[in-house]
Structure 1
Amino acid sequence: MTVRDLPAMPAISMRSGLGSEICPSALGRWQADIRAASDDTTENTISILGVIGADFFGDGVTARRIAGALRAIGDREVVVNINSPGGDFMEGLAIYNLLRDHKQKVTVKVLGMAASAASIISMAGDRIEVPRAGFLMIHNTWVMAVGDRNDLHDIADVLQSFDKASADVYA
């Protein structure tokens, strides 16, 4: 098949009253100087909105990104907004430790949910705010594993040490 064999796109006419031109009366009311309010807190806010750790597509919240944000914030208080289903336990621990090492006050605000690895991160706050309609989801660490009984036994031991580390963070 060639491009010439593809069917032609039918011509579509716009319905009357529809168009892409901006109404002159709307342009007359436009006020370019009106902007969303900004204050000093927006410059020291880190938003963790999504999966913890890099995903298949390269998205996700990583310790590298948080470290860069903390460097940019410098020696000031920081606000961390969280809405995350969790993700990579080790990446969550690294982010937790970065926030705990920050020299100034860290305020964590759970916007909706801080689940799994995100709940670990939320514990890094000197102040932790969870609204009535907000959730923390805490569970034992888990993993998908393949191997013989010896491998799986070793993995169980590793998971037990992760659970102990998590319990220490939550305590």
Structure 2
Amino acid sequence: MCLIKLPEIRADIQLGDIQFDMRPDALERWDPGVVAADSTDKSISIYGRIGKTDDGTGITANRIGAALRVIGKQDIVVNVNSPGGDFFEGVAIYNLLREHQARVTIRVLGVAASAASVIAMAGDEILMGDSSHIMIHNAWAVAVGNRHDFTEAADRLAVFDAAMAKVYAERSGANAEEVAAMMDKETWITAEAAVANGFATGLLPSSSLSHTEASCGQQKAMAIVEAAMAKAGHTRAGRREVLKTLFSGKPSAAEAAMPRAGEEVALLQSLTNSLRV
């Protein structure tokens, strides 16, 4: 059994305080209903956002680590359909998979964008489904503060970008400068191009994919709303409160005691209307 020796990504723990978020363009292409047609007790599903979410659907390193402990030192299949999310969590999951002491097969069923594309590189074998895509780009985060804060954030992200470029380059065989240029352009790579350019090792038959409608609409709607709010500068805590109200219809105790400001009501109405389009 031949296992690929993959480079470790060393992300400074200080990156953990940066608010990494999903890119809106990744969300637009993501169909949460695309899943594996088959699964076993030796498979792991990475469907949805990378990182913690209030509804518990987010994929975290703790969840993946627990699954790996249950499976033990056996070959595993990791099914991926994710628009990305928290790069810090993505790096942690990548490192867990690269350290697994048996063969890791990654199957990209829909999209492996952003942080999910990093996770996909951890496979000894990377298989692409029909119409699937890998999307690579520079780390995308929300930063708040004065010019010194922004400069510091840019410097910290540059180190992370270089580490990701090294992983993509070693997997594909391209040089780091070529990969960095692809990341700068925020490149979407089709299944066929991924195989041709070394980002993947083969294609999946269409029989490997299935589609489910269960909770797909709300899952994507929540992700789109949160991404829009992040782009508008709302904090993660504030976004979570709005999402709870918008999708559960049950305001928190604090909200019940204090009427919302007119701006927040307008924001909720605007976001709701955008979801109906």
Deviates more, 1:74-83 or 1:141-150: 141-150
- 1:80 maps to which residue? 78
Q: Determine whether 1:130 maps to 2:128.
A: yes
In the other structure, the counterpart of 1:56 is: 54
The code of the aligned residue for 1:65 comes to R
1:84-95 equivalence runs, <5 A: 84-95=82-93
- Please tell me whether Structure 1 or Structure 2 has the larger radius of gyration of its CA atoms: 1
**Per-residue deviation, 1:168:** 1.3
Q: Name the aligned partner's letter for residue 92 of structure 2.
A: A
* Identity level (%): 58
Q: Give the aligned partner of residue 97 of structure 2.
A: 99
Is the 2:109–2:130 Cα contact (8 Å) retained in structure 1? Answer: no
User: CA shift at 1:132, angstroms?
Assistant: 4.1
Provide runs of 4+ in structure 1 moved above 3 Å: none
How far, CA to CA, are the matches of 2:130 and 2:79 in structure 1? 16
Structure with more helix by fraction = 2
Query: SS where residue 111 of structure 2 aligns?
Result: strand
Q: 2:136 corresponds to which letter in structure 1? A: I
Tell me the TM-score normalised to structure 2 length: 0.46
Structure 2 counterpart of 1:157, one-letter code: D
What's the counterpart of residue 3 of structure 1?
none
> For 1:16-57, what per-residue CA distance to the aligned partner results, in whole angstroms no more than 9, with x for missing partners?
xxxxxxxxxxxxxxxxxxxxxxx9x61100000110001233
Do the aligned partners of 2:81 and 2:110 also contact (CA within 8 Å) in 1?
yes
Q: How many residues align?
A: 132
> 1:90-169 maps to which residues of 2 (within 5 A)?
90-169=88-167
Provide the TM-score with structure 1 as the length reference.
Answer: 0.74
- Alpha-carbon offset, residue 71 of structure 1: 0.3
- The runs of 5 or more residues in structure 2 that have no matched partner are 1-37, 170-277
Residue 151 of structure 1: SS of its match in structure 2? helix
Q: Is the 8 A contact 2:106 2:125 kept in 1?
A: yes
Ranges in structure 1 where 5+ consecutive residues have no aligned partner: 1-38
Q: Helix, strand or coil for the counterpart of 1:42? A: coil
Are 1:43 and 2:41 matched, yes or no?
yes
RMSD: 1.3
